[in-house]
């Protein structure tokens, strides 16, 4: 189900596993395991890493073409998946710490469920259900940052079969609202796969980033989407034809923002921009098509009937 602006709203073949594990070595080293993030409030959202270079995009697309041939994925299957793919089971890892007798960052069961419901509402072609919740009292892990030893330790200890489940971690964020891994990295780095969000971003927190859209944005990356401003005004852009070219990330909700000469205003309402949560409410048809292909190629075992 999709929110309107007003409401703001299958087993993998053994051969394929070998192909994925081997071919991922052709992705540039500084790209593998890369994170995509949204910066902390109240400043304009920033990213944990620079935008992808043409070399990195070429490497990922080459890998994808090889996996596509191995899986024999058809255009009809991709089109069908853009309408509906299935259910994603989420393992929600709540990281917190205790200080002065108070639990810092410990989400309630209702807050966890509200975030799952928000995800379920945002994606038209996917359902999201809560499979399990874990609670871990660890101050070091609570303050993890992308690529840190704390993140590696946390994920290696807590991850639940990332080929079958979306592992979602709530932490402080270390100055970021969230970050995520991409589908093509899962086979090579299964323990690190998943989405991390700041606990302050779940539904019910103050604006401008407290409605739950950080998780939507990061799960978009987990499903294979780039930022809408990837590639700036280049024809290639974010590899999705129906998202207008966009030179810069959006801060706030500036209606009429237009940073490129190509047709179309900047898609400030798109979940893959950096707009305020109150501004975001949709993915494009082309993004649903891309997610369909990426998930069927790289995360087939995570798709449940």
Sign of the four-CA dihedral 250, 254, 259, 260: positive
Cβ(268)–Cβ(248) under 8 Å? no
8 A C-beta contact, residue 281 and residue 3: yes
Structure tokens at 40: 């902390």
Confirm whether 218 is a catalytic residue. Answer: yes
Supply the Cα-derived Rg of the chain in whole angstroms.
18
- Options 151, 211, 218, 293, the catalytic residue: 218
The sign of the dihedral angle between the CA atoms of 82, 83, 86, 87 is: positive
Contact 8, 278 (CB under 8 A): yes
**Cα(208)–Cα(174) distance, rounded to whole angstroms?**
18
Assess whether the previous peptide bond of 208 is cis (omega < 30° from 0): yes
Sign, CA dihedral 198-202-206-207, equals: positive
99 sits in which H/E element: strand 86-99
Number of helices (H), then strands (E), belonging to the chain: the values are 8, 7
Q: What is the C-alpha separation between 193 and 147, in angstroms, rounded?
A: 12
Which residues are tagged catalytic? 218
């Amino acid at each position: 189900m999709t929110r309107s602006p007003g409401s703001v709203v299958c087993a993998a073949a053994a051969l394929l596993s070998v192909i994925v594990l081997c071919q991922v070595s052709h992705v540039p080293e500084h790209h593998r395991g890369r994170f995509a993030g949204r910066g902390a409030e109240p400043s304009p959202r920033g990213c944990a890493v620079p935008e992808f270079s043409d070399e990195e995009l070429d490497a990922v697309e080459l890998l994808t073409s090889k996996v596509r041939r191995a899986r024999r994925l058809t255009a009809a299957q991709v089109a069908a998946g853009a309408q509906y793919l299935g259910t994603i089971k989420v393992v929600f890892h709540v990281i917190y710490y205790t200080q002065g007798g108070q639990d810092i960052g410990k989400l309630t069961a209702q807050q966890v469920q509200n975030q799952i419901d928000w995800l379920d509402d945002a994606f038209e072609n996917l359902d999201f259900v809560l499979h399990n919740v874990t609670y871990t009292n660890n101050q070091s892990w609570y303050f993890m940052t992308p690529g840190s030893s704390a993140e590696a330790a946390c994920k290696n200890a807590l991850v639940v079969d990332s080929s079958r489940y979306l592992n979602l971690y709530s932490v402080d964020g270390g100055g970021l609202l969230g970050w995520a891994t991409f589908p093509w990295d899962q086979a090579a780095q299964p323990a690190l796969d998943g989405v991390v969000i700041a606990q302050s971003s779940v539904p019910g927190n103050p604006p401008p980033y407290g409605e739950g859209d950080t998780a939507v944005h990061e799960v978009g990356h987990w499903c294979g989407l780039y930022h809408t401003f990837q590639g700036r005004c280049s024809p290639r852009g974010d590899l999705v034809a129906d998202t207008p070219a966009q030179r810069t990330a959006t801060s706030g909700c500036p209606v009429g923002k237009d940073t490129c000469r190509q047709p179309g205003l900047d898609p400030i309402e798109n979940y893959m921009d950096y707009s305020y949560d109150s501004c975001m409410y949709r993915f494009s048809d082309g993004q649903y098509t891309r997610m369909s292909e990426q998930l069927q190629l790289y995360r087939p075992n995570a798709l449940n009937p």
